[in-house]
Amino acid sequence: MTNETQDFEHLIVESKGAVATITINRPKQLNALNEEVLFELEEAIFEHLDPETIRVIVLCGAGDKAFVAGADIEEMRDLGPEQALAFARQGQALTRALETLPQIVIAKVQGFALGGGCELAMACDLIIASEKAKFGQPEVGLGLIPGFGGTQRLTRRVGLPVALDLLCTGKQRTLSGSEAFTLGLVSRVVHHDALDSEVDKVVSAILKNGPEAIGEVKRLCREAYNMTLEAGLSSEASAFSNCFAREEAQIGLSAFLNKTDPGFDKV
């Protein structure tokens, strides 16, 4: 299993086998997102990671304080309306792209995930959080609103009343990792010292399963937000039937019957 590290100004990108870890590396700015960071994230994910090899992407922030504490306020201060629109569209394009990748994207949140950081985490498929994590959308305190999908994804994740509470009270209310788990915002919450091992455990579990099946599950679950139940069931049945035309399913079924390891984590 090879280790590969690629150089970016604001990112640390490491690949080990089927897993890529992308660390936003601006700890002095609490990993705040600016235009350059967004460009580098796009480049790292869509140009430097081999889609034939990488099955899981772990997204995290450098240091112990923050996943991403928000967008870079100093940069935003000088934006005009047209520039702000372009910045919002850039962030929305990145977050939407994360949702449509065939790989599973995991946000490892050890500290602040505020504003754009919360929005970035919500675009990931799984959020695994430390009990010390803090989630929130404080933009209204700046006379702004979320621009990377916060009003849309937060409402879908936690429901309208809680989303409005968080969005309208701003920095006066943040969610701890445990509160975020209770409300359905995050997938798992663990003791701070156990975060790395929990992420490793989840990654290992994903890799033991069929990669094409995982990709189909992600697609169907994401599409369910925008489909009627009837349309979703039809799409699921078609995808289920297509599994039987693939070698992956034959390997998995035969391994189960023969009580052997299908070896999906060795693909």
Angle at which helices 116-123 and 81-100 cross, to 10°? 30
Residues 96 and 179 in one domain: yes
Residues 123 and 255 in one domain: no
Give residue-wise pLDDT tens across range 107-119. Answer: 999 999 999 999 9
Residue numbers annotated as active site: 119, 139
Residues 81 and 190 in one domain: yes
Residue 233: C-alpha distances to residues 157, 227, 248 (Å): 21, 9, 22
State pTM to two decimals.
Answer: 0.94
What is the band of 5 on the pLDDT scale with cuts at 50, 70, 90?
low
Give residue-wise pLDDT tens across range 196-243. Answer: 999 999 999 999 999 999 999 999 999 998 899 999 999 999 999 999
Which tokens hold the place of 265? 């984590």
Residues 147 and 247 in one domain: no
Residues 234 and 117 in one domain: no
Residues 87 and 171 in one domain: yes
What pLDDT shows up at residue 51? Answer: 86
Return the H-helix or E-strand segment holding 147. Answer: none
Residues 172 and 228 in one domain: no
What pLDDT shows up at residue 3? Answer: 62
Give residue-wise pLDDT tens across range 179-195. Answer: 999 999 999 999 999 99
What pLDDT shows up at residue 7? Answer: 76
Residues 160 and 194 in one domain: yes
Residue 132 above 90 pLDDT?
Answer: yes
Residue 134: C-alpha distances to residues 21, 131, 137, 217 (Å): 21, 8, 10, 29
The closest of 123, 35, 120, 37 to 76, measured between CA atoms, is 35
Interior/surface letters 39-57, b for 16+ CB within 10 angstroms, e for the rest: ebbeebbeebbeeeebbbb
At which residue do the structure tokens 């939407």 appear? 96
- Pick 139 or 2 by higher pLDDT: 139
d(CA 165, CA 193): 30
Residues 29 and 77 in one domain: yes
Residues 38 and 141 in one domain: yes
Residue 266 above 90 pLDDT?
Answer: no
Name the domain boundary from 180, 207, 234. Answer: 207
Domain count along the chain: 2
What pLDDT shows up at residue 1? Answer: 46
Residues 38 and 23 in one domain: yes
- What is the domain-level CATH number for residue 229? 1.10.12
Return the H-helix or E-strand segment holding 62. Answer: none
What is the band of 267 on the pLDDT scale with cuts at 50, 70, 90?
low
Domain range holding 258?
A: 211-266
Name the domain boundary from 207, 224, 249. Answer: 207
Residue 173: C-alpha distances to residues 96, 111, 162 (Å): 26, 15, 11
What are the residues whose beta carbons fall under 8 Å from the beta carbon of 152, sequence distance 6 or more?
none
The residues with which 13 forms a beta bridge, in sequence order, are 6, 22
Per the prediction, the chain carries an average pLDDT of 94
Residues 225 and 168 in one domain: no
What pLDDT shows up at residue 194? Answer: 97
- What is the domain-level CATH number for residue 178? 3.90.226.10
Residue 260 above 50 pLDDT?
Answer: yes
Is 225 strand, coil or helix?
coil
Name the domain boundary from 157, 183, 207. Answer: 207
d(CA 3, CA 39): 24
